[in-house]
C-alpha cells in the first residue's frame, strides 16, 4: 500500500515545529527518524494530512553532562548513544539498550525521542527510561514542562505529551556510589522487537546489600511498567542468586500480559521472571 496524500514541511527550528503543530492541530504528525511513522503511514494506520519533519534541527541532537544529570536531545540517534564512550561510563544502561535495538541501519537513523514518543509496547527504550527514572522535557506554545518517566507512558501507543507539544530533551539522573545497570531481552526473531525486555538500575551499600533498585519492563503488557514488587523484594537484602530469583518472581505482579501468535500471556509472564532474574544478576555483577 501507499500512504494517503499529505503535505510535507521540514521545520528549521523547534519553535517553528511547535508553531506548525499549533497551526495544523490534529492533522499534523511529527517525523523524527521515521522508522515507526512511515510504515504506519504505508499501511494507512496513520493518515496525517501534514508531516512536520524535525530531523534537520541539529540543536535537538546532543549528549552532554550538566551537574548530576546526562542530557540527551530528542533527535539523538540510537547509534550515537550506543557508541558514546562517555555514555558507557556514566550511564551504561543507555548504551546497552541502544545496542539492542533493531539492526545497524535502524540504529543509525532511528532516534531516542521518536521511539519513546511512539510508545510501542515492544520497544526497548521505555524499560530503560523507567529504570533510570528519567525526565522528559516537552516544548509547546505555552513553554516547557517536565514529565517523569513513570507518568509518561500512559497506554498502548499513548504518552502524556499534550497536543501541540514536542519532546525536546531527556534528562537522565547520574547514579552515585556502587551502582550496576543491565538490559536483557528476549528478542523477536523476525522484527527484533522485545517479546520481553527488562532494564535494571541498582545501587549497593558498603555491606554489599541492595540500597535501591529501579526496574522497568517492556514487551510484556500494553505499556512499559515499573516492577515495583521486584524492587521492594531486592531493597535491603544481599542480592545473591536466591534473592534475585525471589524478586524476579514478583516482577509481573498485578500486570495483565499481552498475548499474540508468538507468545501467550502465560509464556510472557514466565519470560518476565526469567529475564528479570538475569538482568538483576547482571546488574549486581556490574556493580562489584
Domain of 36, CATH number, reads 3.30.43.10
Q: Check residue 217 and give its pLDDT.
A: 98
> Based on the domain organization, do 218 and 116 belong to the same domain?
no
User: Above 80 in pLDDT, residue 150?
Assistant: yes
131 shares its domain with 116: yes
Whether 190 and 160 map to the same domain: the answer is: no
Q: Residue for cell digits 532516534?
A: 111
Judge if 157 and 93 occupy the same domain.
yes
For the cut 90, the answer to whether the pLDDT of residue 288 exceeds it is: no
191 and 224 inside one domain: yes
Full-model pTM? 0.97
Q: Final residue of a domain: which of 150, 173, 196?
A: 173
Sequence-separated contacts (24+) of 89-95 with Cβ below 8 Å: 90/65, 90/174, 91/132, 91/172, 91/174, 91/175, 91/181, 92/181, 92/286, 93/128, 93/131, 93/132, 93/181, 93/182, 93/183, 93/199, 93/200, 93/201, 94/70, 94/128, 94/132, 94/172
Q: Last residue of a domain, which of 138, 173, 208? A: 173
At 141, the pLDDT band (50, 70, 90 cuts) reads: very high
pLDDT band of 29, cuts 50, 70, 90: very high
- Domain range for residue 225? 178-287
Q: Is the pLDDT score of 149 beyond 90?
A: yes
Same domain, 35 and 83: no
Percent of the chain, pLDDT > 90?
97
Q: Are residue 258 and residue 192 in the same domain, yes or no? A: yes
What SS3 class is residue 157?
coil
Domain CATH number, residue 81: 3.30.465.10
Residues 126, 187: one domain?
Answer: no
**SS3 label, residue 149:** helix
Section 220-248 average pLDDT: 98
216 shares its domain with 120 = no
What's 185's domain CATH number? 3.30.390.50
Q: What is the pLDDT of residues 97-121, one digit of tens each?
A: 999 999 999 999 999 999 999 999 9
Per-residue pLDDT of 158-200, as tens digits, reads 999 999 999 999 999 998 899 999 999 999 999 999 999 999 9
Does the pLDDT at position 255 exceed 80?
yes
Co-location of 185 and 212 in the same domain: yes
pLDDT band at residue 1, thresholds of 50, 70 and 90?
Answer: confident
For residue 178, report the phi and psi dihedrals to the nearest 5 degrees: -80, 105
Examine the domain organization and report whether 14 and 49 are in the same domain: yes
Q: Which residues contact 141 (CB under 8 A, 6 or more apart)?
A: 18, 19, 22, 164
Q: Is the dihedral of CA 82, 86, 87, 91 positive or negative?
A: positive
**Residue 2 placed within a domain:** no
- Our count of domains for the chain comes to 3
Amino acid at each position: 500500500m501507499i500512504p494517503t496524500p499529505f503535505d510535507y514541511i521540514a521545520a528549521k527550528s523547534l519553535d517553528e515545529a511547535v508553531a506548525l503543530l499549533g497551526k495544523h492541530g490534529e492533522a499534523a504528525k511529527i517525523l523524527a527518524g521515521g522508522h515507526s511513522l512511515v510504515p504506519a503511514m504505508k499501511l494507512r494506520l496513520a493518515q496525517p494530512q501534514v508531516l512536520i519533519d524535525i530531523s534537520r534541527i541539529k540543536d535537538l541532537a546532543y549528549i552532554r553532562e550538566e551537574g548530576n544529570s546526562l542530557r540527551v536531545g530528542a533527535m539523538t540517534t540510537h547509534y550515537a548513544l550506543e557508541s558514546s564512550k562517555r555514555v558507557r561510563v556514566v550511564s551504561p544502561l543507555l548504551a546497552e539498550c541502544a545496542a539492542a535495538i533493531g539492526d545497524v541501519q535502524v540504529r543509525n537513523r532511528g532516534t531516542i525521542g521518536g521511539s519513546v514518543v511512539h510508545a510501542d509496547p515492544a520497544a526497548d527504550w521505555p524499560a530503560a527510561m523507567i529504570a533510570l527514572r528519567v525526565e522528559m522535557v516537552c516544548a509547546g506554545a505555552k513553554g516547557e514542562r517536565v514529565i517523569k518517566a513513570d507518568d509518561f507512558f500512559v497506554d498502548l501507543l499513548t504518552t502524556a505529551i499534550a497536543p501541540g507539544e514536542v519532546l525536546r530533551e531527556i534528562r537522565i539522573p547520574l547514579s552515585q556510589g556502587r551502582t550496576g545497570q543491565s538490559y536483557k531481552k528476549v528478542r523477536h526473531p523476525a522484527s527484533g522487537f522485545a517479546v520481553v525486555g527488562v532494564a535494571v538500575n541498582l545501587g549497593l551499600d558498603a555491606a554489599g546489600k541492595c540500597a535501591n533498585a529501579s526496574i522497568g519492563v517492556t514487551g510484556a503488557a500494553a505499556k512499559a511498567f515499573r516492577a515495583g514488587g521486584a524492587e521492594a523484594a531486592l531493597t535491603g537484602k544481599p542480592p545473591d542468586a536466591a534473592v534475585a530469583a525471589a524478586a524476579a518472581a514478583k516482577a509481573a505482579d498485578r500486570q495483565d500480559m499481552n498475548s499474540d501468535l508468538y507468545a501467550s500471556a502465560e509464556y510472557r509472564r514466565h519470560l518476565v521472571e526469567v529475564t528479570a532474574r538475569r538482568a538483576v544478576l547482571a546488574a549486581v555483577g556490574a556493580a562489584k
